[in-house]
Amino acid sequence: MNQFTLTNRTLGAIGLLGAHYMLIAPLLPMRYPALAQSAFDGLVGLFFMLTCMGSLVGLIRLNATGNSSFGYFVIRLNLLTLAIANIWNIYQALDPNANTVLYRILDAFWPISMVVMLLVGIIVVRAGTLRGWRRYVPLAVGMWLPLTALVGKLMGSALVHMDAVADNGTLYILLISGSYASICWSLLAYLVWTTPQPQPIGQM
């Protein structure tokens, strides 16, 4: 019987399609406010996080965190936190902006997953299994959260003295944060797509 398997090339290609969610999804409701009260964000976010999880699976297959038990645990913990965050997407699709306690708890797992991703990135750099620019891509992905926080703080301070653009401050932050995320998740997907998987010793 033939078994259907998602190869790293397939996961990477799908990842390239989903990588731009954080640039597009926050901006479209600004142009079309009705989307904010629809299942749009949840459904698109569901696809995006599934592609993120696919890229992490690709990193696991590439042994990107090395052979340490800590690296083995942390990258799988990242998968778990993304899976929980994805339950929020389903909730959001079924009941947009529910604002219940469960809704807020599930929503918190997206930033939590990015904190874990930052740790994964550090482990990947230290492990050195990936070479060249690939070694630093997971770390760049994990840097999204602190970078977004820094941009928000700096621009918030600057906008106090720039009344003419104060109304567009949120838009600028979303553009910077979303563009960074789009580039980094695209690079991660491309990494998974193009990096040859190590062969088991018995097949070498």
| CA distances in angstroms from 191 to 3, 67, 71, 147, 153, listed in the order given | 25, 20, 19, 22, 31
| CA distances in angstroms from 186 to 11, 14, 125, 158, listed in the order given | 12, 10, 19, 30
What would the pLDDT profile of 78-96 be if each residue is shown by its tens digit? Answer: 999 999 999 999 999 999 8
pLDDT computed for residue 203 by the predictor: 40
Of the candidates 92, 61, 98, the one whose C-alpha atom is nearest the C-alpha of residue 76 is 61
> Average per-residue pLDDT in the chain?
87
Q: What is the mean pLDDT of residues 46-65?
A: 96
CA distance 80 to 75: 9
pLDDT at 166 over 50: no
Residues in the chain: 204
pLDDT computed for residue 122 by the predictor: 97
Q: What is the mean pLDDT of residues 58-77?
A: 96
Of the candidates 128, 80, 126, the one whose C-alpha atom is nearest the C-alpha of residue 106 is 80
**100 Rama class: left (phi>0) / alpha (psi -120 to 50) / beta:** beta
With beta carbons less than 8 A apart as the criterion, state whether 88 and 107 touch.
Answer: yes
Cα distance between the two ends of the chain: 26
- For residue 41, the 8-state DSSP code is H
Q: What count of other Cβ atoms lies within 10 Å of the Cβ of residue 83?
A: 14
pLDDT computed for residue 30 by the predictor: 75
* Helix 40-61 / helix 169-194 crossing angle, nearest 10 deg: 40
pLDDT bucket at 201, cuts 50 / 70 / 90: very low
With beta carbons less than 8 A apart as the criterion, state whether 87 and 48 touch.
Answer: no
